[in-house]
Amino acid sequence: GEDVEQSLFLSVREGDSSVINCTYTDSSSTYLYWYKQEPGAGLQLLTYIFSNMDMKQDQRLTVLLNKKDKHLSLRIADTQTGDSAIYFCALPRATNKLIFGTGTLLAVQP
């Protein structure tokens, strides 16, 4: 099967930048997604990037894609306590079936 790996845990102080990383083995996806999961809530699509782009900025979020190294990252600027959640990268396959990463728990310290 294919692998989509993320580091398990990241702790930052409020106001700092957070960088969440994702590596994958199968690079056939047209889009690559980042989802956010808060306790008791479903998955929320945060942002996405087309596979032919290197970078996408969306307010406090910056997505970087290195296709050669099969590496995707999500940078959150000025991280707030409300950003505390689990973050998943996800790659769509045939019929839009999503392959999710292992998830990164982001803890923001006040």
Partner 1 sequence: DAGVTQSPTHLIKTRGQHVTLRCSPISGHKSVSWYQQVLGQGPQFIFQYYEKEERGRGNFPDRFSARQFPNYSSELNVNALLLGDSALYLCASSSGTSSYNEQFFGPGTRLTVL
Provide the 10 A C-beta neighbour count for residue 79. 21
Which of 25, 27, 30, 80 is the binder for partner 1 (CB under 8 A)? Answer: 30
Q: Does 110 engage in binding with partner 1 (CB under 8 A)?
A: no
State how far the alpha carbon of 47 is from the alpha carbons of 22, 36, 61, 64, in Å: 14, 10, 8, 11
Q: Does 42 engage in binding with partner 1 (CB under 8 A)?
A: yes
- Rounded CA separation 10/86 (Å): 10
Q: Which stretch binds partner 1 (CB under 8 A): 13-21, 57-65, 66-74, 94-102?
A: 94-102
Which of 2, 13, 17, 31 is the binder for partner 1 (CB under 8 A)? Answer: 31
Shortest gap between Cβ of 42 and partner 1 (angstroms)? 4
- Rounded CA separation 22/70 (Å): 8
